[in-house]
Amino acid sequence: MSTTTTNLGLVKPELTDAADITAMNQNWDILDTTLVAKFVVTKETPVSANTLIENGFYRCYFDDSTHENYDFPCKYGSLWTLGSSSYKAQLCLDVLNNVYYFRTTSNASTWKAWKRIITDAEQGTKGQFLGFTEDNKIGNLDLPSAKDYMFRGIIQANNLKASESLKDVGTYQIYLENIDPATYNYPNKYGMLTVERGTSYFKQTFYDMVGKVIYYRSSVDTGTTWTEWRMIYDTVNKPKPADIGAAPTSHASSATTYGVGNSSIYGHVKLSDVTNGTSGVGGGVAATPAAVKAVADKIPTKTETWIFTLEDGSTVTKAVYVE
3-state per-residue secondary structure call for 13-44: CCCCCCCCHHHHHHHHHHHHHHCCCCCEEECC
Show which of 70, 102, 117 is a domain's final residue: 117
End-to-end Cα, the chain, rounded Å: 124
The pTM score is 0.41
Examine residue 89 and state whether it is found in any structural domain, yes or no. Answer: yes
- State the pLDDT at residue 215: 97
Examine residue 243 and state whether it is found in any structural domain, yes or no. Answer: no
Examine residue 76 and state whether it is found in any structural domain, yes or no. Answer: yes
Say whether both 53 and 24 belong to one domain: no
Say whether both 23 and 69 belong to one domain: no
Say whether both 50 and 90 belong to one domain: yes
DSSP string, 82-96: EESSS-EEEEEEETT
Examine residue 93 and state whether it is found in any structural domain, yes or no. Answer: yes
Question: Can you give the residue range of the structural domain that contains 83?
Answer: 40-117
| Rounded distance between C-alpha atoms, residue 147 and residue 205, angstroms | 19
Examine residue 180 and state whether it is found in any structural domain, yes or no. Answer: yes
Say whether both 55 and 26 belong to one domain: no
Say whether both 8 and 24 belong to one domain: yes
Number of domains forming the structure of the chain? 4
Residue pLDDT tens, the chain, 323 long = 678 877 667 788 887 777 787 878 887 776 666 555 566 788 788 889 999 988 888 888 887 778 888 999 998 888 989 888 888 999 999 988 888 899 999 988 899 999 887 665 555 555 555 555 666 565 555 555 555 557 888 999 999 999 999 998 889 999 999 999 999 999 999 999 999 988 889 999 999 999 999 999 999 999 999 999 999 999 998 888 888 877 777 766 666 666 777 777 777 778 888 888 888 777 778 888 888 888 777 776 777 777 778 888 888 887 766 66
SS3 content of the chain, % helix, strand, coil (to 5): 15, 35, 50
Say whether both 101 and 48 belong to one domain: yes
Examine residue 142 and state whether it is found in any structural domain, yes or no. Answer: no
Say whether both 17 and 51 belong to one domain: no
Say whether both 204 and 177 belong to one domain: yes
Examine residue 290 and state whether it is found in any structural domain, yes or no. Answer: yes
Examine residue 244 and state whether it is found in any structural domain, yes or no. Answer: no
